[in-house]
Structure 1
Amino acid sequence: MEDTYLVEIRLARTRWRIKETIQAIAQKFNVEDHQERHPHITLYGPFTLDNPVHSKDILQIIGSCASGIGPIPFMIGSWEQRDGIHGGVVAFSVKPSPELVKLTSLISQKLSCLTISLNAWDLQADKKWFHATIANRLPPGKAEEVFNGLAAMSKTDFSLHSSSSISFQLSSFFVRLATMAGIKKQYKKVHPVFIDDAGLRITVMHNDDILGEYDLLQKRWLNADEIRDPFSWQKTMTLYRRYAGFELKGPLDHDPGEIYLISDLHLGHTNIIRYCSRPFVPSDVIEMDRTLITNWNYSVSQGDHVYFIGDLRHGREACLESEYRALLNGTITFVAGNDDRNTESAVQSVHLTYEGREFLLLHDPNDAPAGFSGWIIHGHHHNNDLCAFPFIDPISKRINVSVEVIGYCPVSLKEICQTIRERILPSGKPLFLRYSYVD
């Protein structure tokens, strides 16, 4: 067998969510033997070495290319189908950031003269297909069958949201369907994905083994133990949060008496990290709670007013709501969510007028009264359907302040109005995420 190498970025925050979706698709369309086990974005390769080049030379070159680049943001989109080197391919589309294009081009330039690439696109960086494979090496006609099936389902069978429990809403595309007639085994329901992620490490594969992994936050190659060490990954994720602005370093300056909005903290809820691809190690809910509470208090002073639009805590392992409330700055009005409709002092909705605009605050936008012509500020949908529920949608006049969408920090009503006035109305386009780290 010929030695082959591959340079890739493996998914970080979205890894669990994408793997679950891939497994569901593979099971539904009977392509388990072809599914991708480690979702990634290929930067270069597969390739072989041209003598007298050694693998250590490859690592040195890749490290020099990556040394001046931080985390690599990108958006994961819906389905695509192509003919690959060894058969049909079905994949998630990836919208690359300038950083991803730059890194890919740089690595291609440096390696192309020292290696024998088996991928024609490596020498055409401007035409490179950025994607995350769902299944590959598919026999003739199978990729088209899977793609057409997914496209048809996206128009008919997909239902991402429910007004009932949060567990159903968040895991709806992982819920098993009833056994279909004539098919004994069950399969999971699948949904289109539109979510942001960032490459935090560059992985170099040698055949089926990891040759090396370069950490884009720590700016170094990791040793073999660090690559799989959860504590090492926790360090990388912490550095990423600070880099991206998801973990504030200190109090933010602002005028006193500001109005802030935020929803769906889900404090104490371990599984929310995986369900909503939050930037934390999946097992460390304590770190998530600490960061979200600190971000709140660095954003909000005691003289500010906060409208919290539902779902403060979740799960039997969470602290009492009163304990969490005592830790949060500001005068807080609680709007009832799915998990706290019976909470004392919570209201069902709030009407506000600010800078001449009318706002209705409620947890689930589907509960808005018919005929309301102002802007609806809501939570409930997290980042599970950014196409339908982005941060600001000028068509539906909806504003999603779920914590994942607004960068894990409360957002002021002043900032929202300024964004609507200066960016949304002139362009007429939605703004999917509040934070500038991903456009």
Structure 2
Amino acid sequence: MAGLKLREDSKVLPFSLEVSLSRDIWVISDTHFNHSNIIEYCNRPFKSREHMDWEMVERWNSVVKPQDKVYHLGDVYIGAPGGYISDLLSKLNGHKRLVLGNHDNGKDQILQRYFEKIDVWRMFPEYGLLLTHVPVHASALYRGKTDHGEEKTLLNVHGHIHNNPSPQGPYRCVCVEQINYTPVHIEELRITK
């Protein structure tokens, strides 16, 4: 760049840095951090609560980069908020968004601190996805007909049901028990629709 002068306030980034700023989007549900009994209830393959919690943090960070977005579809943790939960959540990579689950409290200061947005659902029309905690009624997924008369529907990506199968139709469960305790890339959800 010999001879080229940039203004002092110029915001030009080197090419390699621009590429590394790309964001992936990941989805996961029902981590139930700090929930000892979930190991037995859902036959989770962990020796203890601590083993489960830190293994899920490790698996999360193995795929999620710091600049990525992660949609957690509810039931983040169980029990009293405190230092242990803060420590876990602070170690999770990514810009976290929460779709509230039945065990989450939207007024919880820990959740508000570690999740940039908290909603009851999130739609991605560009991917044909509706993210919820509980599977929604099939009628909520219907989007009319194409010019060729084919039905258009959204895929309901959900949590809540743990080891149980999703309802028949356009549903995909991302509870940790069904996704190897590791967030799923949004492109994989679109492909399986």
TM-score, length basis structure 1: 0.33
Deviations 1:175-231 (A, max 9, x none): xxxxxxxxxxxxxxxxxxxxxxxxxxxxxxxxxxxxxxxxxxxxxxxxxxxxxxxxx
Please report how far the alpha carbon of residue 316 of structure 1 lies from its aligned counterpart in structure 2 after TM superposition.
Answer: 4.0
Match of 1:409 in 2: 182
4+ residue runs of structure 1 moved beyond 6 angstroms? none
For 2:141 and 2:58, the matched residues in 1 are separated by 39
- 304-313 vs 319-328, greater mean Cα deviation: 319-328
Matches within 5 A, 1:205-244: none
Amino acid corresponding to residue 377 of structure 1 in structure 2 = V
Match of 1:361 in 2: 131
Q: Which has the larger radius of gyration?
A: 1
For 1:353 and 1:314, the matched residues in 2 are separated by 32
Task: Verify the 8 A CA contact 1:268 1:318 in the aligned structure 2.
Answer: no
Select the residue among 254, 274, 277 that pairs with 2:43. 277
For 2:21 and 2:45, the matched residues in 1 are separated by 29
Amino acid corresponding to residue 418 of structure 1 in structure 2 = I
Deviations 1:288-346 (A, max 9, x none): 11100010011100121111100110124875654432111011111101111324442
The alignment covers a number of residue pairs equal to 156
- Structure 2: gaps (5+ residues): 1-19, 143-152
Task: Verify the 8 A CA contact 1:269 1:317 in the aligned structure 2.
Answer: no
SS at match of 1:273: helix
SS at match of 2:156: strand
Matched, 1:300 2:80: no
Match of 2:12 in 1: none
Match of 2:78 in 1: 314
Please report how far the alpha carbon of residue 358 of structure 1 lies from its aligned counterpart in structure 2 after TM superposition.
Answer: 1.5
Q: Report the CA distance shift for 1:278/1:255 in structure 2 as closer, same or farther (over 3 A).
A: farther
Task: Verify the 8 A CA contact 1:268 1:315 in the aligned structure 2.
Answer: yes
Q: Report the CA distance shift for 1:320/1:364 in structure 2 as closer, same or farther (over 3 A).
A: farther
Match of 1:259 in 2: 25
Q: Report the CA distance shift for 1:371/1:334 in structure 2 as closer, same or farther (over 3 A).
A: closer
Q: Report the CA distance shift for 1:292/1:371 in structure 2 as closer, same or farther (over 3 A).
A: closer
Matched, 1:352 2:124: yes
Task: Verify the 8 A CA contact 1:296 1:329 in the aligned structure 2.
Answer: yes
Task: Verify the 8 A CA contact 1:261 1:412 in the aligned structure 2.
Answer: yes
Amino acid corresponding to residue 128 of structure 2 in structure 1 = E
Deviations 1:374-394 (A, max 9, x none): 1101000000x22xx1xxx7x
TM-score, length basis structure 2: 0.72
Please report how far the alpha carbon of residue 396 of structure 1 lies from its aligned counterpart in structure 2 after TM superposition.
Answer: 1.4
Deviations 1:333-365 (A, max 9, x none): 1110111132444210001034xx411111011
Q: Report the CA distance shift for 1:280/1:403 in structure 2 as closer, same or farther (over 3 A).
A: same
Amino acid corresponding to residue 370 of structure 1 in structure 2 = A
For 2:178 and 2:24, the matched residues in 1 are separated by 20
Matched, 1:291 2:55: yes
SS at match of 1:332: strand
For 1:329 and 1:368, the matched residues in 2 are separated by 33
Task: Verify the 8 A CA contact 2:32 2:78 in the aligned structure 1.
Answer: yes
Q: Report the CA distance shift for 1:363/1:333 in structure 2 as closer, same or farther (over 3 A).
A: same
Select the residue among 97, 103, 106 that pairs with 1:333. 97
For 2:95 and 2:40, the matched residues in 1 are separated by 31
Please report how far the alpha carbon of residue 265 of structure 1 lies from its aligned counterpart in structure 2 after TM superposition.
Answer: 0.4
For 1:323 and 1:406, the matched residues in 2 are separated by 24
Give the CA RMSD over aligned residues.
2.5
Q: Report the CA distance shift for 1:339/1:275 in structure 2 as closer, same or farther (over 3 A).
A: same
Deviations 1:116-152 (A, max 9, x none): xxxxxxxxxxxxxxxxxxxxxxxxxxxxxxxxxxxxx
For 2:35 and 2:85, the matched residues in 1 are separated by 13
For 1:277 and 1:375, the matched residues in 2 are separated by 27
Please report how far the alpha carbon of residue 400 of structure 1 lies from its aligned counterpart in structure 2 after TM superposition.
Answer: 0.2
- Structure 1: gaps (5+ residues): 1-253, 421-439
Bigger relative contact order, structure 1 or 2 (CA pairs below 8 A, ≥6 apart): 2
